[in-house]
Amino acid sequence: MSSIAFDADLQDIFFTVFEQLDADGRLGEIARFADFDKETYQATVEEAARIATEVLNPINGPGDRQGCKVDDDGNVTTPEGYAEAWRTFSEGGWIGMNADPEVGGVGLPNTIAMICTELFSSAATAFSMYPGLTAGAARLVHKFAPEAWQLPVATKMFTGEWGGTMCLTEAGAGTAVGDNRTRATPTDEPGVYLLEGEKIFISGGDADFYDNVVHMVLARTPDAPSGSRGISIFLVPKFEFDDDMNLGERNGAKVVGLEHKMGINGSATCVLALGADKPCKGWLLGEEGQGLPIMFHLMNEARIGVGVQGQSVAAAAYTYALKYAKDRVQGASVENFKNPDAPRVAIIEHPDVRRMLMTMKVLVETMRALLYRVALYEDLSHSDDLEESKRKKLANRVDLLVPIAKAHCTDLGFDVCVTGVQVLGGYGYINEYPLEQLVRDAKIMSIYEGTNGVQAMDLLGRKLRMKGGALFMEWLGDSQKLVQKTSGDFPAEAEAIGKALGHVGQTAMHLGALGQKGKLADAMLQATPFQAMMGHVVLALEALDQARVAKAKIEAGEDSAYLHGKLLNLTFFVKNLLPEAIATGKAIQSGDTSCLDERLFA
Ligand SMILES: Cc1cc2nc3c(=O)[nH]c(=O)nc-3n(C[C@H](O)[C@H](O)[C@H](O)COP(=O)(O)OP(=O)(O)OC[C@H]3O[C@@H](n4cnc5c(N)ncnc54)[C@H](O)[C@@H]3O)c2cc1C
């Protein structure tokens, strides 16, 4: 058991989703969500918080220490309690929260499903990867599997009878997915291929709580062109099955090893051999050569999902650190530090500890706002009930913000966990407390689902240039409107954020000019700093927007320390965190390329 109780910050969650973003009002305009209302959303999130607290969090620490095992037949044993937790998920419909009811889903909006995912991942990141990956794979099955299987297989997965994985990575093909070498040879049966190769780092490659695993495997067909265009995608089950979903023979996809890793130890990270000791059948999804477009169908969802993981561990770190700081008594207050007889105080009284906690709080709450906003825009952009121009604008905004949601929230998520360790001092480093595990669990999030370096290049090299820069210009324009709208209530803060927006625009132009001169390396060198800079401004805008809503509520007579905290969040962000963005912009515009010139002893 964790030495500090897990807590979900439902007050902040509900403020963000209902008060700031008016998600219930905006989702209420969509026919597909007509069966839901604010009360249902609230009750769903409260139930998710209960499961996170009572079912998931108790298995998080022990699962980390126990890890997973694999036997010679390739069957994985997960930590104690995982099977029961999976049963809770299956029975409660949590795997298919936002899936279509025709495949056993609940049909909730992504926005609400994301909040539940935040809570699950906050309580037990490693466990919550199994339902997340299964749902992702099931979505591909639902859309692209051979027709007779689309509904029944996706249903098996969304209801938790079968699991699912994503198999892209190979030893020589990580970031460069197009370098995949797994071979897929057609058989006499239409759409059926024999696969040979080895996939590595496959999360949830097997588990002892589902009857079958359906792998989504990237592979190359004979004579396929080199690079990404030659990649196809296959449905590769652990056990073959017939059209009535009866399980048959064991297929030749077998887990032959587990990685020993830094964190998320309850998530089995598998080496998956395909066709090594018996033939491995795979069923083509879509058409040959469509592997990456089909896989990238999930890209926004998957990247936002990893951003949520980053925010979720940060949220856990913050609540643990806050509780600890209120209880832990150490030393006298700074005013009395020379007096040996002065009363001892809780460490939350020390200014440096308050600074750490405030940094954590502000980042957790602004990241939450960004992620919920992206999820809400995603829901609205897919609704036929909205005018096409509005839908397009929302979809553009999602496209622009996805790399920031993924990279900034996972980089900051890790940083917040590290700060959490610092708040606890020596006990933060000791595994009796949950902070050290959070740091280890958090690190992978900046690496998988496209490293953060790749996200930054996507933002700078693709998203900023998309539609002639329209996505970026629209974002700048809307952000300036928020600044203007709030300049009466928060003159100093709105002005500072307005200036920071100007810096982001100038820095983007500077980098664009480098690109136009063909100095691609010089521009890409600054991709990560630019992503961090823009990310900080994006979060500052969320702090401003939250303060706007809080002030209106205070003026309407609803006064509380929580709402005043939103005003202080804004001040703190603008005075302490926003200057980093300006400084980064200046560093980028200095044009320094010394690291490209330095030999680095190569
Ligand atoms: C615990 C865990 C779980 C995982 N789960 C899955 C899974 O379920 N399914 C799956 O398919 N994969 C999974 N992965 C793999 C993961 O997605 C890859 O590790 C990741 O894509 C990076 O690939 P790589 O490790 O080969 O690193 P590399 O691609 O070798 O990258 C190393 C460094 O070089 C940088 N780099 C590489 N290429 C470029 C470039 N062109 N420009 C600039 N910088 C570049 C990267 O940003 C990184 O900093 C998992 C990995 C781990 C550790």
Distance 445 CA to ligand 1 centre (A): 11
Cβ of 169 less than 6 Å from ligand 1: yes
Cα 39 versus chain centre, distance:
26
Q: In the 3-class helix/strand/coil scheme, how is 136-172 assigned residue by residue?
A: HHHHHHHHHCCHHHHHHHHHHHHCCCEEEEEECCECC
Q: Is 361 left (phi over 0), alpha (psi -120 to 50) or beta?
A: alpha
Q: Which residues are catalytic?
A: 449
Three-class SS state of 201: strand
Q: Which atom of ligand 1 is nearest to the CA of 168?
A: 11
pLDDT less than 50: residues of the chain: 1
How many Cβ atoms are within 10 Å of 131's Cβ, its own excluded?
Answer: 25
The pLDDT assigned to 600 comes to 81
Strands 192-203, 269-274: pairing kind: antiparallel
pLDDT of residue 602: 58
CA angle, residues 182, 188, 189, in degrees to nearest 5: 85
CA 320/CA 330 separation, integer angstroms:
17
Query: Token pair of 457, please?
Result: 């290049």
* 3-class secondary-structure state, position 195: strand
Spatial neighbors of 343 by CB under 8 A, at least 6 apart, are 332, 336
Q: What distance in Å separates the CA atoms of residue 45 and residue 119, rounded to the nearest whole number?
A: 8
Which is nearest to 64 in space by CA: 265, 269, 270, 268? 265
* 459 alpha carbon, distance to own chain's centre: 16
Determine if ligand 1 sits within 6 Å of the CB of residue 448. Answer: yes
Span from the CA of 186 to the centroid of ligand 1 (angstroms): 29
Q: According to the model, what pLDDT value does residue 3 have?
A: 78
Contact 535, 371 (CB under 8 A): no
Closest by alpha carbon to 47, among 112, 125, 101? 112
Decide whether any atom of ligand 1 lies within 6 Å of the 560 Cβ. Answer: no
* Gyration radius from the chain CA atoms: 25
The span from the CA of 118 to the CA of 9, in Å, is: 11
Look at residue 1 in the predicted model and tell me its pLDDT: 42
The pairing of strands 212-220 and 162-167 is parallel
Hey, whose CA ends up nearest to atom 17 of ligand 1? 448
Give tens-digit pLDDT for 377-392: 999 999 888 899 999 9
Q: Is 168 in the pocket of ligand 1 (CB under 6 A)?
A: yes
Q: Tell me the C-alpha to C-alpha distance, in Å, between residue 249 and each of 149, 198, 239, 389.
A: 18, 21, 6, 51
Angle at 404 between CA 263 and CA 215, to 5 degrees: 50
From the CA of 218, give the closest atom in ligand 1: 11
- State if residue 167 touches ligand 1 by the CB under 6 angstroms criterion: yes
Specify the pLDDT at position 81. 98
